[in-house]
Structure formats: structure tokens, C-alpha cells
Structure 1
Amino acid sequence: MSTQVNIWDIPGGIHPAERKELSNRTPIQQAPLPKRLVLPLGQHIGTVAEPCVVVGQRVRKGEKIAEANGFVSAPLHAPTSGTVSFIGAQPYPHVSGMLAPAIVIDSDGLDEWGELTPHADYRHMESAELLALIREAGINGLGGAGFPTAVKLTARPTQKIHTLIINGTECEPYITADDLLMRERAAELVAGIEILAHLIQPEQVLIGIEDNKPEAIAAVRAACAGHDYQVRVFPTKYPSGGEKQLIQILTGVEVPSGGLPADIGILCQNVGTCVAIHDAVLLGKPLISRITTLTGEALARPGNVEALIGTPVGELLAFAGLDTSKLNRLIMGGPMMGFTLPSLEVPLIKSSNCLLASTAAELPLPPPAMPCIRCGECAEACPASLLPQQLHFFALGQEHEQLKAHNLFDCIECGACAYVCPSSIPLVQYYRAAKAEIRELEQKQLKAEHSKQRFEQRQERLRRAEEQKEAERKARAEKAARAKAAQAEAPVAAAAAPADETLKKLKIEASMAQVALKKAEKQLAAHDTPELQVQVAELRAAAEAAQKALADAQATAPAPAPQPAGDEALKKAKIEAAMLKAQLRKLEKIEAPDDDQQAEIARVRQQLEAAEKSLIDLQNQAPAPAAKSAGDEALKKAKIEAAMLKAQLRKLEKIENPDDEQQAEIARLRQQLEAAEKVLVRLQNQAPAPAANPVSNEALKKAKIEAAMLKAQLRKLEKTEAPDDDQQAEIARVRQQLEAAEKALAEFQEQAPIPAAKPAGEEALKKAKIELAMKRAELKKAEKTGSDETTLQPLRDALADAEHALHAAEAASGKPAPELVRTERPGVDAELKALKTEVAFARADLRKLERDESAAGEALEQARNRLTEAERKLAEYQK
């Protein structure tokens, strides 16, 4: 152990009034056990813990109640025995007064410990096991920052940690928690340092203490006897307790801007953290309490207490004799870097080292901020050698790049610049706001970059998938072409083969030259340069030469020999044309085809033209079908005319609110349909009976089923969005089978015996019923649309006339009038049925109003009341 030697100074710094004498004159006291503990899940820097208990569960002291949720996180333990009464949002120690997720434990007063597992033989443990033990104890830095200790110990730089620094500075005014801890628990402190030294194996251990703590210095030096630990004492100055500032004071080395102490082989730990490590390893106790300073002139008995984590601060201040009439501000932390608490209900957390209850005279409000006078005192006081005045101007202008260039994030927010500012400018608040804005923007940029990467990766996947589909399509096309060539029946003449091949090549060359010319012309339209003009001229000349060569070859090519137009050849020609059409449609759907795809489109289009020409030739060569008689043709036309008029009439009748012109059109079509049906009946009566070739009902039924199944199969195939070549061939095949089946069905129907005609009375009765239904539908439709009486009365008269016509048709048909007998199902309660019907109608009306965005609130309320009343009546009746 050595005396204070090799002490360096830091730039800047101030000497505010310490006021430590308020709380450092009495020993540490035990705070009373509270009845209710509120334990926030986020008591450290990093991810909040995850509850592992449920409401109503009994826990014992030291039992884990929340698991660490991620690498930078720490678990939480029960500070006393009791019952978990609530898990949810609770007050949190933050200047905003916001709520945060927490676990609430109602104490049972027994303070019963759970099972503890000490590890006195930690020197025989692996480093990973020892680190896991510290992590499971829920220890984070107790000096104020609150970084999880296990994470800090795990962070290894490229070089070894050669210096371990123990921070006992406690430079903030008023706070004396570390001072009393070093006085009364120096032995536990040194034992905790031994554990850290065993874990990281440093070359030297430095304990830094300011010279305003003589009792603590003496106690630590005595406890360090027999250890190679150096107690370094240095002059008191604020903020020498900052991590980077303490490293500079004890070693003379500065931490690089934006870097960490571990980057230069140094690790810092607070004295309170060392004692917590001792308790966790040697006693098996997790971090459930801490030493906290209770100070300020509003307290009758200021001092230091060991309080359970989660104790409401109001109970701790009451224990210290709080006079609420004197209390002006309640600050968690010191007056320089602490923050005002909005309520006495907030709980104590692991990083709460001080509660300052100040009076108005003790910490008066600062005067209003005045304009900066550029005195430069803030720059002289800055311990990080920054330019606070310049940072202030950049923060006002939201010049984030300039703030980062001037090392804003090296600011430790100590408040020294604001303390010495003669204009009373709250500089630290500007820096905090600017840091938050920069972090938010960086997070947004990071999210945007991630989104961009995901989009680009998705586009790349789609491109690869499209390339794979194209390759598969080409493979299928090649396979089909090979199969088609292998199945060709007629051999091609040897002399014609070279000519056909030459003609094919010339067509492809002409198509590709035309595509290249169009592409170059587009580029020339976008960027008119001499080079592109020359290129376009050359491509145009090449395209014209290729087109001329193609025309010459087509002119000199011998005409193909006519082939017999048999049914099989005609069928193949139809299939070939259908497949080429489908292939061309698929290619034309490509939004921006490249050169190869353009050439493929041109090639398929030429093949389609040739196939259609060949199909026309074959159809012309085919023998003409036997002419049908004039009567059959007239009957067919009459059927088609009636069917078309029916379809047109149905379409118009679907209009909900037809205007006058549409009503007149409906009446006109109805008259035309009646006339067409009369003509059709007359032609059917005049048509000669078909030759006697009776067809059984079974054969006719099978033909109908066959045609229906083929129709359904064809519809299903036609729903395919982009059918490939095989699917197109299947569609063509099914369509041909359907044509053949419909033809056979028509022949069966012509050969089937004509059914006996119905009596004229029955036909008139049927028409009267249809007319009555139509008139009734027209009247109902008009009533629903809210038509006036002048419109409704003619419809009522027409309905009455239709009813009279129906009665007359019933009398003329000779059929007995139907006897109307109203029957009720057995067991049906008429009143219950009416109540259920009322509930159904009320519910339907309410749903209709709820779907209507323009519905009035009063109407909705009336509908809800109606439904409630109907349901109540139904429930009462069913009882």
C-alpha cells in the first residue's frame, strides 16, 4: 500500500458548497420495514426485467421475482417476505412523473429469508460461473448510472484490463452515502475488491477518495493492510467523481472521445457496488437494499439509512422527520445532477443514493435566463474541455452535425457550466434535449436503413424467383417443341428444309434488329447526344437491310404444297393456334421486357400469324357441312332472340331505383319478349317432327351429365390467371370435348320424342301467376324506395288486375281452387315467437345503424334501448 503519489488534475471544475455535514455526523440507521413495496421492473440501464411471479403468490426475502430480459438487463428480487398484490403501472422516480411497470408486494411483517447459497470458495470457481453469480444477484452500478455490473465486467477490449479503479470520490454536494459506507463497512468493501481482482486479474488496484473524507480514508487504509491496493487521496473538486475524470486524476490518461475506459485497459467500480458483490458471493444475498442519504433543511433528523428497494420515499422522509411546510423541492440525487421528484409516492430504486428535501431559502429558484454575454466561464469550468457556449448555440439551431462534431456526447451533464453562467442559462437542459433528438433521429435512420435493406432483399428474391420461373417456362416450351417434333407425322421435304431454316433465321434477325432500334431511339429521346444519333442511324440501316433480306427470301420461297384438310389436321391446327395465343398473352403481360423477351414476343407473334393462316386454309379446304333447312334456321334464330331478350330484361330488372327511361325500356323489352315467345311457339308448332330414331331417356341423361361435367372442368381451367403451355393445351382439349358432347346432346334431343303439349288453360294459369308475382315485386320495390302516392296507385291497380286475371285463369283451367289452411307447428308458443321476432328485428336495426357512418347518436341510442327492452321482455317470459 502506498501513499498519495502521482496525482493529476482535470481541466475546469468548480467548488460548490458541500453541505455534507448535515448527514455525515450520525451512523447508518436501519429504515423501518414498509407495509407495501413497489418494485419497478426497470431499475437500470438496458432492457426491463420480465416478471416470473403472479398476483397472489407468496414470496420470501431474496427470492427472484423478475428475470433479466436480454444481455443488458438485470433480475429483480423480493426485498422482504409477503404477497404479490399487483403487477402493472405504478409511480416511477422520474422528472416526468410517468408511470412504469412494477411488481407490488404487501409485506407480511415476518421478513423471512429464502434459501441462501454462500460461495466462500469463489477462488475455485470458473470466471463464467462467478460472473453468472453476480448477474443473478441483480447488481448494477450503485454510483448513479445504474449499468448492470456483470455486463460491465464481461466487456473485454482487445487488450487486458490492467488497472482496476474503485470510486470512493462522492463529489456531489450533500451526498454522504459512500462516505458512511467506507467508514462502517471497509472490511466488506475490501472483500468485494478481492473478488473483482480475482475475476479480472488487474496489474494494479487504485482506490480514489477526496480529501474531505478523512474518516473514510483512515478506515479504508486500515482495511487494505496486507493487500497491494493503493489508496489515492486528492483535492476536492467537482466533478472529480466522474468516471473519465477520476481515471485522468489517478492515471493521467484520458479516455478517447466516444470511447470507454475498457478501451484503454481500465475498469471502474463504485464502492457500493463492491460491497454488493461481497454480499452476493460470500453471503449469497441478492441486491435488495442500499445505503441512501436523507438530507436537506426540511428534515429534522438527516442522515444515512439502509433502506429496502421499493420503499416509498415518503416513508423514508417521514422517518427522517420531514416538515412538509418547509419542503420546497424534493430532489433524488444531489443538487448538481439530481432531478426533482413529482410525488412522495415514488419508490426507492437501486440507483437512488440521495433524497434531498430542500427549503426555498436553501435551494432558491434560479433567476430568469438572460442572453449569453460570451464571457467564457462555462468553457473554463467544463471538466471535459468542451465549448458549452458553442454547443448551446448549435442546440438552439438544431444543428445536429455540428453538435456531434463538437463532441456533445462527451458531456457528462455535471452542470458545472450552468453553475458558473452569469446569465443563468440552463445549459445542461439544452444538451439533454439535443442528445435525445439526435438519438431519436439516429434510431429513425437505422429503421429506415433496415427497411431499405429488407426491401432490396425482397426485390432480389422476387427477381431470382422470376428468373427461375422463366427458366422453367423455357424448359417446358423446349420440351413441348421436342415432343411435337417427334410426333410429327408428315416428313418435311429435304429440299425445303434449308430454305425454311434460312427464312426462320432471317425473321429472328429482323425482329431483333427492330427491337435494338426501338431501344436506342428511346435512349436518344431521353439523352440527345451525337454518339447516340450515330448509333441510331447505324441500327436503322441494319434493321432496314434485315427487313429487305427477309422480304426477298419470302418472295423467292416456294409456296407450301396444300395438305388434305382432314378432321385431324384441322383439330391440330386449332390447338396450335390456341397455344400460341396463350403464350403471346403471357409474354405481353411483362411490364418492361428486355431485348430477349422482345425477340421472343416477335417470334411467337409470327408463329401465331402463320398458324392462323394455316388454320384458315384448312377450314377453306374442309367440306362444307350439309345445309340445314330454312325452318330449322328460323327456329334456331327465334330461340336465340328470346334468350337474348330474357337476359337483357333480367339485367335491367336488377337495377334498384330505375328512372323513367329505364322503366320504359323494361316495358319495351317485356313486350318484345312476349312477341318473340309467340313467334318461337309458332315455329315450334310448324317444325316437322324428326325422323323416328327414338333415344332412350338414359342415353339423353348421360349426354347431359357429360356436357355439364365438361363445362365445369372448362370453367375451372379458365380461372387460371397465367396458364402455362400444358394448361393451355388442356383447355383446348377440354373445349373440343365439350363441343363434341354438346353436339351429341343436341342430336339426342332432336331424336327424343316431343312431350305432350300442356292444355291451354294450364299455360294461361302459369302466365297469370308469373304476371302477378312480377306486379307484386314492382309494388314492393316502389314502396321500399319511398315513392309517392301518384307512383304507387297505378302499381296497386295493376296488381289488382293481375289478381283478377289469376282468379279467371284458375276458373278456366278447371282445377279446384286450393284450400288455404293455416296450421301451427305443435309446441310453438305464439307469444314467445313474437318476442323472439321483436328481438331479431331490434338487433338487425341496431346493426344497420351501427354500419351507417352518418347515423345520428340519438337514433343509435333509441335502437340500443329498443334491443335492451326486447331482450328483457324475452328473458322475463322465458323464466
Structure 2
Amino acid sequence: MSTGTGTFKGGVHPYDGKDLSKDLPTLTVMPKGDLVFPMAQQHLGAPSRPVVAVGDKVLMGQRIGEASGFISAHICSSVSGTVKAIEPRLTPSSAMVESIVIENDGQYTPAPGVGEKRDYTKMSKEEIRAAVKDAGVVGMGGAGFPTHVKITPKDDNAIDFIIANCAECEPYLTSDYRMMLEEPDRLIGGLNVIVSLFPNAKGVIAVEDNKPDAIKLLQEKVKDEPKIEVQVLQTKYPQGSERQLIYACTGRKINSSMLPADAGCIVDNCDTVIAIYRAVCESTPLMRRVVTVTGDAVNKPRNVIVKTGTLYSELLEYVDGFKCQPEKVISGGPMMGQAQTSLDVPVTKISSALLCMEKDPVSQYESTHCIRCGRCVAACPSRLVPQKLYECSTRGDIDTFAKLNGMECFECGACTYVCPAKLRLTQAFKQSRRAVQDARRKAQAAAQAAKAEAEAKAKADVKKEGGEKA
């Protein structure tokens, strides 16, 4: 059994906006235009490498992008059709990324083997992990970490808990909630697949207590599952953050220098677990996302099941468009999402929501001076002092920023949310963290270059000394 408290210190309770979309069943939609598959920005690590050329015919589920490193992931086409172009395209992260553009033939002809049923209990660990890798499954909670790497730790015996992250604490998002209600058997089946890889592990389905119907359904479903339990969590943001979730479920602590596996845990998002089931038991690559299209600027908010590569602009048709022109559109939730300048960007593996706001709440306020109220300290789930980190950030003092444990910040936005002075704390920390990472990379590269130079000099000296002796 897990031994967590169901919560963590700090956090905030923003308006969750979930009532806008949570009660409607998901709607499966089909793309109408060309589909765009970025080779980067869909997963952490090295970009994928195109393995098709312009003019090639492709099938649904066929691999079109090959993982190019240990931390990387394959990309599969979600439709059948013709490769129209391989060129830079805009992504939800606002970056121009090499992308494969496919003209959909509307036939959705599957590649050989796609959809075939498999019994995971008759598969070896290596076969299960290979199936997850071949399917291109990544963390769908937003991080995009390649899942086949995550479920391959150094020591299988050291893993005690497999946590299905069903907290969905980000405001407005309800896609995981709908999947808990609509695909509970795939969720539980996927968790069983992962648990089967680790001899000492128990499965935990972690759900916030604002989803009582999902909790009741899942508890009923797992009552005869000896290795799976449902852990009810207190509703609080950012409950679904990996560090906070592990502590809430198990009482174990990790920091930025550790992996969950170091604490005997593996954490996968709700839809990631379902994707694992599809990959292993149904031979189906990751080629669909459940996207919450919501916000007060949308006529009929709801969740849609959409093929990856579909443009965001197409999704608006299924919510009857805008009721008014939004001041702000976000890919993801309001706390950690990315503001959009265009809707001509594709749904990727890590797309979770399209949030359309009638008013931009950030633009309504001017920042003032810090009044040292301490609210940011109370809200910070990493137990940092945002006020001090902000002072370092504004003067560009990244050394002190790092000494004050600024790298433990994971940019959840809780401090910015509670700040009465409306300081752009999270934005400042994001810039400082990047500066620290850049400085560390440069220092590491310089150290490696110096080491290589010293080794070359030593070899030259040995060779010279040998020549003189001869």
C-alpha cells in the first residue's frame, strides 16, 4: 500500500474552469486539411529524423520519423496519404521546426500489423518495451519524455510504485477526466502492463477528490486487482507535478537532481498509460490526442479526440467557433501553457488543450513593487523563496540564483498567481534557469576541451620523449 498523505505543502486553488467541458462525452473528429508532423517539439531529447521523402505514399501508423538518439522518439503518421513537403513549420512552442507535411487521402489505410491484438502476458519485458518504443509513446502530460526510456530503469527490482497520474490539476483541462470515465479498462490494462515489468511494484491510480464519479468507477474496476489501488488526492494545484505527486502518494521526496526511479517510482500520465495499452495490446502507435477545446471565448467547449498533425484551427469547428474574438489563446492550461500567435499550428503528442480567453488577465494588470507579503513563499510547492530569486533574476545574478536553489523551480506559476504586485515571477525564473543551464553547458564544454587538449599534449610529450630516446 502507498503511504502518502494525499497532498503536499504549498500550492494554490485557482478557478478551475472544468465545468465548461467536463460533462460532455468526447467527440472523435477527422482532419480535413493537410497534416503537419514536427520532427522536434513533440518529445524531449534529440529530434526525430525523417525516413520518408516528398512524393512517398504513407499508411496510417507508418513510421515517418526515426528516433535519432537515446532520448528521442519515433513519429508515426496518423493518416494515409502522400508526403507533400518536408519543410520548417510553426509549432505550438512558437518555434519553426522541420516538419513532414502529409496530404490526407481520406482512406485511413493502416500499415501492416496496426490494430492486431496481443496478449502482454505472453510477451517478454524486452518485447513490451520494444512495442512502446516502436509506437513512439511519450509523456502526454506535457513533458514529452520518451516512455520506453522511463520504463527501462537501471534496476527493475528497485521500483516499488507505478503511479498513473490522473490528478489533472491544471485549470480548464478535462481530457484525462473523460478518459477515466470512457476508457477505464484501457487505463487499468495499461497500468497492469507496466506493473508486469517490475516484480516488486504496485500500481497506483492517483485522482484528485474533485472527480468523485471517476474515483468511484475506478475503485469498482480495481477491487479485484491485487496490484492496483486508487489513491484519492486533495484537490490543489500543482498536485499533478511529478515531485508533488510522488510525495502525496508515497511520502517519498525527490529533487531536480533525481529521477523518480531514484525514489522507487515511475510516473506516467493517464493518457500515456492508455497509449501504452494501445501500443502493447492493440499494436497501435501514438497517433491521437484528446484535446480540451475550452474557454469563455468558445461557443461550446468540449473534449475532442483528434489525430496528431491536425491544425488547431480545424478544432474550432467542433465547438461552433468563437463567441467573440479572444484576447488570448493558449496551448495547454492557463498556469503552464504556451500563448499562441497563430492557430495554424499542429496538434502534437504533447498537446492537451486549446484555451481561448475573452480577456487576457495578464494584460489587465501593471506590475508594482514587491511588498514582501510572503504569499509566494507559502504557495511555492518546492519550498523556495521566490522574492529572493526574483531579485537575483532582475539583476542577472545567476550564480546566486543557483545557490538559492532556483533550479528546483519547475515553473508551475503558483507564485505568480498569488502575487499581489503582479510581478512576472515565473517568466523571470524561466529566463534565469535557461541562463544557468547555458552557463553550465558552456563550462562543461570548456572543461572537456581543456581535458582533450591536455591529453593531446601528454601524448605529444610521450611521443617526443620516445623519439629523443631513440
- Scaled to the shorter chain, the TM-score interval is over 0.9
Contact 2:298 2:324 in 1 (8 A): no
Aligned partner of 1:37 in structure 2 is: 35
Check 1:290–1:201 CA distance in 2 against 1; reply closer, same or farther (3 A cut). Answer: farther
Among 383, 387, 390, the residue aligned to 1:389: 387
Shift of 1:149: 0.3
Task: Indicate the SS of the match to 1:114.
Answer: coil
Contact 1:366 1:424 in 2 (8 A): no
Task: Indicate the SS of the match to 2:158.
Answer: coil
Contact 2:131 2:283 in 1 (8 A): no
Aligned partner of 1:133 in structure 2 is: 131
Match runs of 1:119-518 below 5 Å: 120-156=118-154, 160-228=158-226, 229-256=228-255, 258-323=257-322, 325-360=324-359, 363=361, 365-472=363-470
Shift of 1:13: 1.0
Shift of 1:303: 0.3
Shift of 1:423: 0.6
Q: What is the distance in 2 between the residues matched to 1:246 and 1:470? A: 66
Task: Indicate the SS of the match to 2:310.
Answer: coil
Contact 1:157 1:265 in 2 (8 A): no
Q: Deviations over 1:462-514 (max 9, x none)?
A: 22222222223xxxxxxxxxxxxxxxxxxxxxxxxxxxxxxxxxxxxxxxxxx
Among 79, 104, 107, the residue aligned to 1:107: 104
Q: What is the distance in 2 between the residues matched to 1:167 and 1:8? A: 13
Q: Deviations over 1:214-266 (max 9, x none)?
A: 22212222321310211111221111111111111112222245222211111
Shift of 1:358: 0.9
Task: Indicate the SS of the match to 1:227.
Answer: coil
Q: Deviations over 1:566-600 (max 9, x none)?
A: xxxxxxxxxxxxxxxxxxxxxxxxxxxxxxxxxxx
Q: Deviations over 1:117-145 (max 9, x none)?
A: 54523223221222111111000001111
Shift of 1:202: 3.6
**Runs of 4+ off more than 6 Å:** none
Give the root-mean-square deviation of aligned CA atoms: 1.7
Contact 1:157 1:263 in 2 (8 A): no
Q: What is the distance in 2 between the residues matched to 1:202 and 1:353? A: 32
Check 1:27–1:87 CA distance in 2 against 1; reply closer, same or farther (3 A cut). Answer: same
Shift of 1:56: 0.1
Q: What is the distance in 2 between the residues matched to 1:93 and 1:149? A: 21
One-letter identity of the residue aligned with 2:113:
L
Aligned partner of 1:729 in structure 2 is: none
Task: Indicate the SS of the match to 1:461.
Answer: helix
Q: What is the distance in 2 between the residues matched to 1:467 and 1:5? A: 65
Check 1:380–1:139 CA distance in 2 against 1; reply closer, same or farther (3 A cut). Answer: same
Q: What is the distance in 1 between the residues matched to 2:187 and 2:110? A: 23
Aligned identity (percent) is: 35
Contact 1:292 1:306 in 2 (8 A): yes
Q: What is the distance in 2 between the residues matched to 1:254 and 1:353? A: 27
One-letter identity of the residue aligned with 1:110:
Q
Contact 1:158 1:263 in 2 (8 A): no
One-letter identity of the residue aligned with 2:365:
P
141-150 or 217-226, which deviates more: 217-226
One-letter identity of the residue aligned with 2:380:
C
Q: What is the distance in 2 between the residues matched to 1:300 and 1:123? A: 46
Q: Deviations over 1:591-615 (max 9, x none)?
A: xxxxxxxxxxxxxxxxxxxxxxxxx
Check 1:70–1:257 CA distance in 2 against 1; reply closer, same or farther (3 A cut). Answer: closer
Q: What is the distance in 2 between the residues matched to 1:67 and 1:391? A: 40
Q: What is the distance in 2 between the residues matched to 1:32 and 1:320? A: 14
Aligned partner of 2:5 in structure 1 is: 7
Q: What is the distance in 2 between the residues matched to 1:72 and 1:105? A: 26
Q: What is the distance in 1 between the residues matched to 2:204 and 2:282? A: 25
Task: Indicate the SS of the match to 1:343.
Answer: coil
Aligned partner of 1:585 in structure 2 is: none
Q: What is the distance in 2 between the residues matched to 1:38 and 1:85? A: 10
Aligned partner of 1:501 in structure 2 is: none
Q: Deviations over 1:382-412 (max 9, x none)?
A: 1111111111112222222322222112112
Q: What is the distance in 1 between the residues matched to 2:37 and 2:11? A: 36
Shift of 1:6: 5.6
One-letter identity of the residue aligned with 1:100:
V
Q: Deviations over 1:161-190 (max 9, x none)?
A: 011111100001100000000000001111
Shift of 1:204: 2.1
One-letter identity of the residue aligned with 2:184:
A
One-letter identity of the residue aligned with 2:95:
M
Q: What is the distance in 2 between the residues matched to 1:65 and 1:367? A: 46
Q: What is the distance in 2 between the residues matched to 1:141 and 1:340? A: 21
Aligned partner of 1:542 in structure 2 is: none
Task: Indicate the SS of the match to 2:89.
Answer: strand
Shift of 1:364: 5.5
Task: Indicate the SS of the match to 2:197.
Answer: helix
Aligned partner of 1:62 in structure 2 is: 61
One-letter identity of the residue aligned with 1:253:
R
Q: What is the distance in 2 between the residues matched to 1:343 and 1:256? A: 36
Q: What is the distance in 2 between the residues matched to 1:276 and 1:230? A: 20
One-letter identity of the residue aligned with 1:424:
K
Match runs of 1:704-853 below 5 Å: none
One-letter identity of the residue aligned with 1:105:
I
Q: What is the distance in 2 between the residues matched to 1:294 and 1:281? A: 29
Q: Deviations over 1:307-339 (max 9, x none)?
A: 010111001123222227421111011111111
Contact 1:258 1:409 in 2 (8 A): no
Q: What is the distance in 2 between the residues matched to 1:143 and 1:192? A: 16
Q: What is the distance in 1 between the residues matched to 2:101 and 2:201? A: 45
Q: What is the distance in 1 between the residues matched to 2:155 and 2:287? A: 31
Bigger helix share: 1
Q: Deviations over 1:422-446 (max 9, x none)?
A: 1100100111000111111111111
Task: Indicate the SS of the match to 1:232.
Answer: strand
Bigger strand share: 2
Q: What is the distance in 1 between the residues matched to 2:402 and 2:361? A: 33
TM-score by length of 1: 0.52
Q: What is the distance in 2 between the residues matched to 1:341 and 1:202? A: 44
One-letter identity of the residue aligned with 2:61:
G
Check 1:91–1:260 CA distance in 2 against 1; reply closer, same or farther (3 A cut). Answer: same
Shift of 1:207: 1.2
Task: Indicate the SS of the match to 2:196.
Answer: helix
Task: Indicate the SS of the match to 1:17.
Answer: coil
Task: Indicate the SS of the match to 1:154.
Answer: coil
Task: Indicate the SS of the match to 2:417.
Answer: helix
Aligned partner of 1:636 in structure 2 is: none
Check 1:158–1:25 CA distance in 2 against 1; reply closer, same or farther (3 A cut). Answer: closer
Aligned partner of 1:540 in structure 2 is: none
One-letter identity of the residue aligned with 1:127:
K
Contact 1:59 1:78 in 2 (8 A): yes
Contact 2:316 2:322 in 1 (8 A): no
Aligned partner of 1:93 in structure 2 is: 92
Shift of 1:209: 0.5
Contact 2:367 2:421 in 1 (8 A): yes
Task: Indicate the SS of the match to 2:298.
Answer: coil
Contact 2:195 2:201 in 1 (8 A): no
Q: What is the distance in 1 between the residues matched to 2:71 and 2:12? A: 34
